Amino acid sequence: MPAKNQAALDFLLTRRSRPAKTLTEPVPDRATLEQLLTAAARTPDHGKLEPWRFIVLGKTAMPRLAEAAEKRGQSLGLDPDQIAKGRSQFDQGHLAVAVIEIDRKVEKIPTLEMTYSAGAVCLSLLNAALAAGWGANWLSGWPSHDRGFMTDALDLADNERIAGFIHIGTETSTPPERPRPDVPAITTWVDR
């Protein structure tokens, strides 16, 4: 029987994201954040392509990003509620890491596998922050899917896109547990 890491298993069985709007200061310092990023980078990566990178968004960057989201939303003709929602994560944020997916254009490795790896980095960073005692939340929203925002606000290249914004800070409240999937109902066992 393999050796069990019960503490890690217990953490994974009870982990819970913290709403970004409930996160406040203090936030991790640079050394702490580098450790969390190092943990996040230890993720499945077919071909060792590193099809992702990090952009750390500090508190002083947030007003610029909020304004960029609002301007972009207005130029797209979005309704005011959509615009407000798009900018709110930056208005309320103190620290976030933008995980940037990079399409490496490698013939033997499908782009979709690079997307999976970038998503795994997002979850790994989220879990690393939670395991280290911080509150954390993975957000996206229309700005993260809009090419104009990606280019204007974050200067992303054409082969890059936002996989997610991982907000990290001190939690001010613990959210109630929410319903979880009925694993037997969504599991098929194939024995032959």
Say what angle helices 30-40 and 111-131 make with each other, to 10 degrees: 140
Residue 4 in any domain: the answer is: no
> What is the number of structural domains in the chain?
1
- CATH number of the domain where residue 167 is located: 3.40.109.10
The whole domain housing 97 covers 19-172
121-174 tens-digit pLDDT: 999 999 999 999 999 999 999 999 999 999 999 999 999 999 999 999 999 988
Residue 23 in any domain: the answer is: yes
Residue 185 in any domain: the answer is: no
Residue 1 in any domain: the answer is: no
25-81 tens-digit pLDDT: 999 999 999 999 999 999 999 999 999 999 999 999 999 999 999 999 999 999 999
Residue 118 in any domain: the answer is: yes
Question: Which residues participate in the annotated binding site for FMN?
Answer: 15-17, 42, 46, 138-140
Residue 180 in any domain: the answer is: no
Q: How far is CA 137 from the centre of its chain?
A: 7
Q: Tell me how far apart the alpha carbons of residues 169 and 55 are, in angstroms, rounded to a whole number.
A: 16
Residue 45 in any domain: the answer is: yes
- Angle ∠(85,170,178) on CA atoms, nearest 5: 65
Residue 88 in any domain: the answer is: yes
How many Cβ atoms are within 10 Å of 172's Cβ, its own excluded? 12
Question: Which residues participate in the annotated binding site?
Answer: 15-17, 42, 46, 138-140
